[in-house]
Amino acid sequence: MIWKNLNDSLSVFLIVLVIGLGLPSLALGQQTYFSDLKQTFEEGSIFKAEFYHQTVDSYTQDTVASSGRIWVGAQKYRVEADNKSVVVDGQTSKVYDEDRNRVIISKYEPEDDDFAPSRILNGVDSTFTVQTQEKRQGEIYILLSSDDPFAIYQKVEIYLSNSLVPKKIEAVDPADNVITTTFTDGEFMEPEEAMFKLSYPESAEIVDMRN
């Protein structure tokens, strides 16, 4: 699996997709913050941010942390963290491991990627419901939850700025592990061609698995 080759801590991307693309447009009363956020992605905007991500084991209280940068669109994504980079353009996956100076190119198979927009759009996480979406202390709070024992997360809490820019996402998985991602310098922007191009030195070993 693509993300297993990178780092499990990069599951931050899944959470971003859940808030942006994963659920139907459910509105509670007159407030539609979640639907507005979802629409921002669907209209082609790219979310770019620095992130700090940590997972706390519910049993041992051990903490695994990572930080990096993300660019997230409806059908493409790019993540740079822990000396590794991945770019998915919907057809091809390219992963660069700086420590090994190696690039792995493969045909992108959304069904093998837990983080694929198409998987989520096709209803993998349709068991989630929007429990709360409201303004709290100068920011927007959205609570998603699922009663499905096979859901990737039981609960996802999303904190947005008043302009719908993600600031923090906290999720609880079925084992009660707590996954928290904090975003800084986050913004939505128009897509640019260079955003989803993988950079690596000419000396890198190229492993093309498409043939």
Domain that includes residue 148, residue range: 2-208
Per the model's pLDDT, the better-predicted residue between 81 and 202 turns out to be: 202
Span 135-161, mean pLDDT? 84
Is pLDDT above 90 for 184? yes
- Asked whether residue 140 carries a pLDDT value surpassing 50, the answer given is yes
Per-residue confidence (pLDDT) for residue 154, from 0 to 100 = 83
* Residue 185 pLDDT greater than 90, yes or no: yes
pLDDT of residue 111: 56
- The residue behind tokens 């669109």 is 73
Quote the number of domains for the chain: 1
Give the CATH number of the domain where residue 66 resides.
2.50.20.10
**Res. 2: pLDDT tops 90:** no
For the residues 134-156, what does the mean pLDDT come to?
Answer: 83
